[in-house]
Amino acid sequence: MKKGRFILSALCAMLLMVGCGQKAADKPADAKPVSASTDTIKVGVLHSLSGTMAISETTLKDTVLMLIDEQNKKGGVLGKKLEPVVVDPASNWPLFAEKARELITKDNVSVVFGGWTSVSRKSMLPVFEELNSILFYPVQYEGEESSKNVFYTGAAPNQQAIPAVDYLMKEGAVKRWVLAGTDYVYPRTTNKILQAYLLSKGVKKEDIMVNYTPFGQSDWQSIVSDIKKFGSTGKKTAVISTINGDANVPFYKELANNKITPDVMPVIAFSVGEEELSGIDAKPLVGHLAAWNYFQSVDTPANKDFTAKWRAFIKNDKRTVNDPMEATYIGFNLWVKAVEKAGTTDPQAVQKAMIGLETPNLTGGVAKMLPNHHITKPVLIGEIQENGQFDVVWKSSDLIEGDAWSDFLDGSKDLIADWTDPVKCGAFNKVTKTCQGAAAK
């Protein structure tokens, strides 16, 4: 995270800003499991408040706390107040599983809102399936998964990555592609899908460059030099960025140092939003792009109301809102509706009640929970502005249903997920008519 003392100082200040929030809530030594007669419904909040992902996840913790506070002011759920139980897995992927197990078995939470990276979700997944609890996962991800215990309110690749490539092909006449990502599940699988998609569109293998870097990558000189060389053939080149966390600051700074501007080589990011841009100098990023399903700049009454409530709750009229916050908002509201419909917090009843429920999103549409546990979303392309906001330059004409399985990967194109009768399977092969994954019991 350093290219000279200035960048190091800037990053340190930024990490201090996001990492010094509320401490993880410790469970009292005499805490007892919640029973049907208790006065509260416990809600697990499992986001990194320290480590490399704190820059993104701390805000989601605060978002859940705000939503719980608002719901309690309405009378709670089923006549009971909601009680948050906040823990910090500290950007430590195995710790996510350990903390999830504690939340479910010791704190007896009815639901968990948490995770950012796919490796954290993959770590937690067996725990939720073993204990039959519910996780709401609010971040864009690589797909290739559907669990009866997880509700995916972030974008699947067909709701972000594929439309982003289509936009650059059509609007930017891009011919060469750099797929740059952090070295973990989400970037690798997403880029595998994008490579297959690009090849299906007639792009040659030699016109695709793939690069992965560790979390927290700080030295980008040689990598950006290679990217610049790759883009110097005369063909229009773009960078598809799945770089995650605090590594984005020095990456964009190095692009600017090499005079890689949006008109020369646009970057479209899937993990850079308003929160990541707040508190840093956004000048090196101006004109570059991001693909999300929501931007703070969207002009709707619901969005203005949400932003105002957020700033009042956080007591800071300059705080931003972003896409994973909207996904958290959608997931929380769907969970409340499902609990009220089921008349209980029992996971199996809530899972069944969830399918088909709808709730307004913040962009003027409706999010509907699909049988594959994904939701409907619009797709937006935004151009980064100097103030850290996005100017929406493109929006899908319709809401897009999230696909659990890619249409462009062998082994996936024949699969669907459907947790309703008669399929009740997260990986059902349409050709062989068999369930290749865990089936609902």
Number of domains in the chain: 2
Residues sharing a CB contact under 8 Å with residue 214, sequence separation 6 or more, in sequence order: 182, 183
For 243-375, strand residue ranges (E) read 267-269, 289-292, 358-360, 366-368
For residue 145, the model assigns a pLDDT of 97
Same domain, 305 and 388: no
Amino acid letter for position 298: V
Same domain, 356 and 214: no
Domain span holding position 18: 5-155+299-377
pLDDT tens, position by position, 170-208 = 998 999 999 999 999 999 999 999 999 999 999 999 999
**Residue 366 or 20, more confident:** 366
Query: What one-character-per-residue DSSP string does 182-200 give?
Result: ESSHHHHHHHHHHHHHHHH
> Measured between alpha carbons, how far is 418 from 404 in angstroms, rounded to an integer?
10
Q: What CATH number is given to the structural domain containing 281?
A: 3.40.50.2300
Q: Is 249 helix (H, G, I), strand (E, B) or coil?
A: helix
Does any domain span residue 441? no
Same domain, 31 and 123: yes
Query: What one-character-per-residue DSSP string does 143-185 give?
Result: -----TTEEE-S--GGGTHHHHHHHHHHHS---EEEEEEESSH
> pTM of the prediction?
0.88
Same domain, 335 and 263: no
**Residue 166 or 282, more confident:** 166
Same domain, 259 and 151: no
> Measured between alpha carbons, how far is 362 from 322 in angstroms, rounded to an integer?
11
**Is residue 45 within 8 Å of residue 61, measured between CB atoms?**
yes
What single-letter DSSP state applies at residue 77?
Answer: B
Chain CA centroid to CA 370, Å = 18
Does any domain span residue 431? no
Same domain, 117 and 138: yes
pLDDT tens, position by position, 73-93 = 999 999 999 999 999 999 999
Give the pair of three-digit tokens for residue 22.
């509320």
DSSP element (H, E) containing 31: none
Residues sharing a CB contact under 8 Å with residue 433, sequence separation 6 or more, in sequence order: none
pLDDT tens, position by position, 342-358 = 999 999 999 999 999 99
CA-closest candidate to residue 57, choices 2, 120, 147:
120
pLDDT tens, position by position, 240-295 = 999 988 888 899 999 999 999 999 999 999 989 998 888 778 888 999 999 999 99
CA-closest candidate to residue 143, choices 192, 190, 197:
190
Same domain, 71 and 132: yes
> Measured between alpha carbons, how far is 438 from 433 in angstroms, rounded to an integer?
14
